[in-house]
Amino acid sequence: MFALPELQSRFYTAMLAPQPGTGIDDVLAGDAGRNLRRLEAYRRNVFANLCTALALTYPVVLRIVGEVFFREMARAYVRAEPSASGDLNDYGANFAGFIAAYPYAVDLPYLAELARLEWHRQMLELAADAKNVRPDTPFAALATTPADGYDALFFELDPAIVRLNSDWPLANIWRVNQTDYSGDMQVDFTCACQLLLWRTSSQVELAALGRAEAALLDELIAGRALAPAVILALEIDESFELGVCLQRWITAGVLRGAFFDPDRS
């Protein structure tokens, strides 16, 4: 007699085995041939559900490689990394790493990073709403602090943001592979990019950043004061406009508040 957890574990292992029924045939009663047919039906459903979950999470990867290629790659991933959660939204966290090592994707060296971008989009879509911890005049400190006090001026950022750097033009690859895109399909694959992903009330947004803007945001995300962040941005681009940058991300909801804290500087 086997305990239920052991039976469940053996059953799931059998679903992923090269031959259905391997490792579980000794606990099945009845006709062996009928049991194998039933196991094969379960097996098809397991693979179909997990492959469909991957296709929904990685639609741009799917669009680039095509249905046949994607399904075969997804099946290989399912065999390599079985689901450990009952929520299909959780499945596929390591798909980017799998693609990076997948020998048949070697001619698409940007594909793994594109998958990583798509996973971050998925996680942002599912992230819990953040509470506005400074609902009253959240940027009063920014308006009242003179420039010589920026070494003690800090920002609160929406926690549902992701910063990515890539050697590939992920923003353009993403843009031209949207189903509603009808513009120029040419992409310069020699261009690196800095990206910011954030969530609005209706969707996840993606924006390409200049190097100076990305550096400033990285400093603020790390909890550093505005003054050293501005200095770093100006070292990268002496024409960097702080006011334009701050207004952009305040309007977008990425920056959610400012506070003056001389003890923290």
CATH number at residue 147: 3.90.930
Report yes or no on 10 lying in a domain. Answer: yes
Provide the pLDDT for residue 35.
67
Provide the pLDDT for residue 168.
97
27: containing domain: 4-125
Q: Which of 125, 151, 170 is the last residue of a domain?
A: 125
Provide the pLDDT for residue 246.
97
Please tell me the total count of domains within the chain. Answer: 2
pLDDT band with cut points at 50, 70 and 90 for residue 224: very high
Report yes or no on 130 lying in a domain. Answer: no
Neighbours of 220 (CB within 10 A): 21
Residue 76: both structure tokens together: 């290989």
Identify whether residues 109 and 191 lie together within a single domain: no
Identify whether residues 81 and 155 lie together within a single domain: no
Amino acid making up residue 63: R
Identify whether residues 145 and 244 lie together within a single domain: yes
Provide the pLDDT for residue 47.
87
In this structure, the dihedral spanned by the alpha carbons of residues 108, 110, 114 and 117, taken in order and rounded to 10 degrees, is 160
Using DSSP's 3-state secondary structure scheme, residue 162 falls into strand
> Are the C-beta atoms of 24 and 10 separated by less than 8 Å?
yes
Where helices occur in the chain by DSSP H, the ranges are 4-16, 32-57, 59-65, 67-80, 95-101, 111-126, 140-144, 170-176, 211-221, 226-236, 242-252
Report yes or no on 51 lying in a domain. Answer: yes
Neighbours of 75 (CB within 10 A): 15
> Are the C-beta atoms of 151 and 260 separated by less than 8 Å?
no
Identify whether residues 256 and 155 lie together within a single domain: yes
pLDDT band with cut points at 50, 70 and 90 for residue 64: very high
Identify whether residues 184 and 215 lie together within a single domain: yes
> Are the C-beta atoms of 153 and 226 separated by less than 8 Å?
yes
Identify whether residues 251 and 220 lie together within a single domain: yes
Identify whether residues 177 and 152 lie together within a single domain: yes
Report yes or no on 265 lying in a domain. Answer: no
What distances in angstroms separate CA 177 from CA 4, 65, 140, 174, 192, one per listed residue? 46, 11, 41, 5, 18
pLDDT band with cut points at 50, 70 and 90 for residue 140: very high
Q: How many CA atoms lie within 13 A of 255 on its CB side?
A: 24
- Which residues face 166 on adjacent strands? 193
Identify whether residues 14 and 105 lie together within a single domain: yes
pTM: 0.85
Identify whether residues 40 and 107 lie together within a single domain: yes
Identify whether residues 21 and 119 lie together within a single domain: yes
Report yes or no on 248 lying in a domain. Answer: yes
> Are the C-beta atoms of 244 and 212 separated by less than 8 Å?
no
Identify whether residues 106 and 146 lie together within a single domain: no
Report yes or no on 148 lying in a domain. Answer: yes
Identify whether residues 15 and 106 lie together within a single domain: yes
Report yes or no on 62 lying in a domain. Answer: yes
Question: Tokens 């790493």, residue?
Answer: 97
Provide the pLDDT for residue 127.
84
